Amino acid sequence: MTGPARAGAGPGPEPRAPARALLRPGALVSRRWGRALLGALGAGGAVLVLELLARGGAVDDDALPPATSVLARAAGMAVDDGFLGHLGTTVSAWLGGLALAVALAVPAGLLLGSLPWLDRAGLAVVELARPVPSVALIPLAILVFAEPVRVERSLVCYAALWPILLNTLYGLRDVDPVAKETLRAFGFGAPAVLVRVSLPSAGPFVLTGVRIAASVGLIVAVSAELRAGGDSGLGVYLLQTQSGGGRPDLMVAGAVWAGALGTAANAVLVGAGRLAFPHSARAAAGRGG
Amino acid sequence: MLDITGLSHRYDDGHQAVDDIELSVEGGELVSIVGPSGCGKSTLLRCVAGLQRPSAGRITVGGRAVEGAVPPNLAVVFQDYTRSLFPWLTVRDNVALPLRRHGLGRAERRARAAKALAQVGLDGTGSRYPWQLSGGMQQRVALARALAYRPSLLLMDEPFGSVDAQTREDLEDLLLAVRGGPAGEGGPAGEGGPAGEGGTAKRPPGRMTILLVTHDIDESVYVGDRVVVLTGAPGRVHSDLRVDLPAPRDRVATRGLPEFVRLRAEVGRAVRRP
């Protein structure tokens, strides 16, 4: 990103904009490394504290196993086919529901956002439906869909719809009228303006909506598995570790995996955003500094 | 080329922006529009561009009525390049995007964009993003985008109002340099059909007709063939002055001519008198 900007700096007779000082790779990289180092220190510290609490006897070993043994269990589960089967079920229901939500919410947002009268009517429905917690709909979903995987996927989809829809709407509201008029003045019609200006301009907002939806969706996916049962899924695995006296180390290790899923999804979406919308990544870097 | 008769516009909030404007622009002319702020200069431009349907009056571009639809072969350069250039596209793609309207293939669009960028002295910047360039360079990208489109009518809304004085003078000279051959040689580019069609693509286009809105009196005289002064709100045509200054204009010599000084004073008086 910043590479070509420096390499091609030759021909412009004008002085460079001061804003570009922020884009010097050196400055950005060292700041990023510094942040990563602090993050690693924080995570390591937390593990250390948990370890000391458990080993020192401050907390009952059965309630909170030492951090190192939990992490060892979690690492071991990476090669455990049984656990990976559970994990796969959750991931596929979660991502499936999320994809369905994107496919529904983005077009709906574009439609609502470009037709003002529909926007007003649609928002009323959104405001009514949005506060209903997805987990409150678990019994209904079980009744309607019966099959656990479908229950899970539909609930994830429901929960993920709202953040994506609302962010798409806000993103469209934020599109610069001058940018739209620029294209209109070149004779482009409303559909072309929507696709070529509104959509890319709202893109970073939509992506933020998807990021929020991903984390909400994971909560709902695991909750649905805990309640709806079925024979596979991270929630089902957690229920199984509960039976027969319980295995807190496996339980917490399962939770660690759930957390890792959420972190990975977030990292992938942030990275995708940087690639797809370099201008907004630049804005974010500017704010960070 | 451009005929405006009885143009009035009143916004929904009751504000009367322009009132009964009459204006006729010949093909190849560069007409500066000046007036006190809030005199409806931008409203006038937006009506010509078909972005705003006027309450009353008639506008024809190349003999065709505008009537709230954007006329073909028209390009607009806005004041605020940071908002008018698309930050998610590279400089090259920004310039090439409007050419889709001409039904050109990708290679042809890119070639035209590269040529227009070279015209404004920005070769080699095509793969950068607009926000990686200075303000003056960004406004040159906006100008290149308009040039690549090969409009017969170019509308400019305070195009150099957001850059420093030195850059502003550079851009004024650039505009005069890129507006095409001398008046009378050839007609407005591509009038009556898509620009760049057939054999005209190879030849340098005829001189563009330009309507330039500015609040800078000096600039209006320096670049203009004519200066139209509007009255304060609601805007009416106060005076219409022909600028008889020799071409090519020179930023030092032209401004030293007695005729330039006289015109600048006359426009200044007209702008200040309600």
When pLDDT is cut at 50, 70 and 90, the band that residue B214 belongs to is very high
- Predicted confidence at residue B220, as pLDDT, reads 93
Please state the rounded mean pLDDT for residues A58-69. Answer: 78
DSSP B182-196: PTTSS-STTTTS-TT
Is a pLDDT exceeding 50 seen at residue B202?
no
Size of interface A-B (CB pairs under 8 A): 88
Any A CB within 8 A of B128 CB: yes
Percentage of chain A beyond pLDDT 70 is: 87
Measure CB to CB from residue B101 to each of A181, A186, A201 and give the nearest one: A186
List CB contacts of B129: < 8 A, sequence separation 6 or more: A5, A278, A279, B87, B89, B90, B91
Is a pLDDT exceeding 60 seen at residue A4?
no
- Predicted confidence at residue A14, as pLDDT, reads 42
Measure CB to CB from residue A178 to each of B49, B78, B101 and give the nearest one: B78
Measure CB to CB from residue B129 to each of A13, A179, A279 and give the nearest one: A279
Any A CB within 8 A of B166 CB: no
- Predicted confidence at residue A67, as pLDDT, reads 85
Is a pLDDT exceeding 60 seen at residue B162?
yes
- Predicted confidence at residue A147, as pLDDT, reads 84
Any A CB within 8 A of B195 CB: no
Any A CB within 8 A of B101 CB: yes
pLDDT, averaged across chain B: 84
pLDDT tens profile B163-191: 888 888 988 999 988 887 655 443 344 33
Q: Distance (Å) from the C-alpha of residue A170 to the closest C-alpha of chain B?
A: 18
- Predicted confidence at residue A27, as pLDDT, reads 57
Please state the rounded mean pLDDT for residues B146-175. Answer: 89
Any A CB within 8 A of B49 CB: yes
**Cis, peptide link before residue A66, omega less than 30° from 0:** no
Which of A2, A24, A182 best tests the B interface by mutation, with the highest count of B CBs <10 A? Answer: A182
Angle between helices A234-242 and A81-114 (to 10 degrees): 140
Q: Give whole-number Cα distances, B209 to B9, B76, B150, in Å.
A: 24, 12, 11
List CB contacts of B265: < 8 A, sequence separation 6 or more: none
Is a pLDDT exceeding 70 seen at residue B99?
yes
Please state the rounded mean pLDDT for residues A92-120. Answer: 90
Is a pLDDT exceeding 90 seen at residue B72?
no
When pLDDT is cut at 50, 70 and 90, the band that residue A261 belongs to is very high
Percentage of chain B beyond pLDDT 70 is: 90
Opening angle at CA A47, ends A223 and A249, nearest 5: 50
Is a pLDDT exceeding 80 seen at residue B242?
yes
pLDDT tens profile A16-49: 444 444 445 555 567 778 888 888 888 889 888 8
Please state the rounded mean pLDDT for residues A246-260. Answer: 88
Is a pLDDT exceeding 90 seen at residue B210?
yes
Query: Of the candidates B45, B57, B50, which has an alpha carbon nearest to the alpha carbon of residue B8?
Result: B57
List CB contacts of A280: < 8 A, sequence separation 6 or more: A203, A204, A273
Q: Which two tokens stand for residue A125?
A: 């429905």
Measure CB to CB from residue B132 to each of A20, A184, A185 and give the nearest one: A20
The Cβ of residue B111 has, within 10 Å, a number of other Cβ atoms equal to 15
- Per mean pLDDT, which of A28-42, A46-60, A199-213 is the most reliable? A199-213
DSSP B109-128: HHHHHHHHHHHTT-TT-TTS
Contacts of B101 in chain A (CB under 8 A): 186-188
Please state the rounded mean pLDDT for residues B72-92. Answer: 91
Query: Which chain A residue has its CA at the smallest distance from B128's CA?
Result: A5
The Cβ of residue B133 has, within 10 Å, a number of other Cβ atoms equal to 24
Is a pLDDT exceeding 90 seen at residue A92?
yes
Measure CB to CB from residue B125 to each of A12, A19, A278 and give the nearest one: A12
Which of A186, A197, A274 best tests the B interface by mutation, with the highest count of B CBs <10 A? Answer: A186
Is a pLDDT exceeding 50 seen at residue A287?
no
Those residues of chain A whose CB sits closer than 8 Å to some CB in chain B are 4-5, 8, 10-17, 19-20, 23, 176, 178-179, 181-188, 196-197, 200-201, 203, 277-279, 282
Please state the rounded mean pLDDT for residues B115-124. Answer: 90
When pLDDT is cut at 50, 70 and 90, the band that residue B41 belongs to is confident
Measure CB to CB from residue B123 to each of A11, A15, A188 and give the nearest one: A11
Strands (E), chain B: 2-10, 16-25, 30-34, 56-61, 64-65, 74-77, 153-157, 209-213, 226-230, 237-242
Which sign does the torsion angle of CA B212, B217, B218, B224 carry? positive
- ipTM exceeds 0.90: no
Is a pLDDT exceeding 70 seen at residue A282?
no
- Predicted confidence at residue B194, as pLDDT, reads 40
Any A CB within 8 A of B152 CB: no
Please state the rounded mean pLDDT for residues B18-44. Answer: 88
- Predicted confidence at residue A8, as pLDDT, reads 37
